Amino acid sequence: MNRPLSVLAAPFAAAFGSKSATAAEGPFEVTRTDAEWRAMLTNAQYRVMRQEGTERAGSSPLDKNYAAGVYHCRGCDQALYASEHKYDSGTGWPSFFDVLPSAIETKEDNSLFSMRTECHCDRCGSHLGHIFWDGPAPTGKRHCLNGVSLVFRAA
Ligand SMILES: [Zn+2]
């Protein structure tokens, strides 16, 4: 999706450690055609991961999963989040206060009249969720994720 305003958001994205304010447009290490994405994902997964949709709150079994392990990207299997960083935000979405190194990219999302930081897998560009600044210490961040974008692998 073309977002001309993303250029203006670059300094903000940089503050989150982003490599590019328009990162979701690629290029990415893992690329697939739209037909390939549709073939490998369910409609619900495709809507979230490739169209930046949001799953219904409380719909993901991963929201209440606190087993030890690592959460991988459903699109390319890259390790993204560790169970040590997961917490119950009470929002109904799997929430983390930190992310594994070199796993995600961010961009400013000014849709719906709100200023949110979108985050996606830095290897395949699949949308994961949004980052807010109301998370717990030590980061103060809340990575609010869609469970359908993730695959949990127990330790
Ligand atoms: Zn990925």
CA of 87 from ligand 1 middle (Å) equals 22
Confidence of residue 34 (pLDDT cuts 50, 70, 90): very high
Contact criterion met (CB below 8 Å) for 54 and 109: no
Can you give the residue range of the structural domain that contains 137?
A: 29-154
Q: Are 92 and 57 in contact (CB under 8 A)?
A: yes
Quote the ligand 1 centre to 38 CA distance (angstroms).
Answer: 15
Asked if residue 19 belongs to a domain, the reply is: no
Give the per-residue pLDDT at 110: 75
Query: Which one from 73, 119, 121, 144 is the annotated catalytic residue?
Result: 144
- As for how many domains the chain has, the answer is 1
Residue 100 located in a structural domain? yes
Domain containing residue 58: CATH number = 2.170.150.20
Q: Is the pLDDT of residue 7 over 70?
A: no
Is residue 9, in this structure, part of any structural domain at all? no
* The two three-digit tokens of residue 117, written as one number: 């930081």
Report CA-CA distances (Å) from 48 to 1, 7, 130, 139, 155: 14, 24, 12, 26, 26
Distance 140 CA to ligand 1 centre (A): 25
Residue range 86-107, pLDDT digits in tens = 999 999 999 999 999 999 999 9
Alpha helices in the chain (DSSP H): 10-15, 34-40, 43-51
- Spatial neighbors of 43 by CB under 8 A, at least 6 apart, are none
Q: What is the Å distance from ligand 1's center to 76 Cα?
A: 4
Question: Is 121 known to be catalytic?
Answer: no
Within a 10 A sphere around the Cβ of 92, how many other Cβ atoms? 16
* Six-digit token string for 71: 């959460």
How far, in Å, from the CA of 150 to the mean position of ligand 1?
9
128 falls within a domain: yes
User: For 36-61, what is each residue's pLDDT tens digit?
Assistant: 999 999 999 999 999 999 999 999 99
Whether residue 14 is contained in a domain is answered as no
HSE-CB at 151 with a 13 A cutoff on CA atoms is 13
Over residues 107-128, the pLDDT tens digits come to 987 776 667 899 999 999 999 9
In a domain, 48, yes or no: yes
Q: What spacing in Å lies between the alpha carbon of 152 and ligand 1's midpoint? A: 13
Residue 106 structure tokens: 């961010």
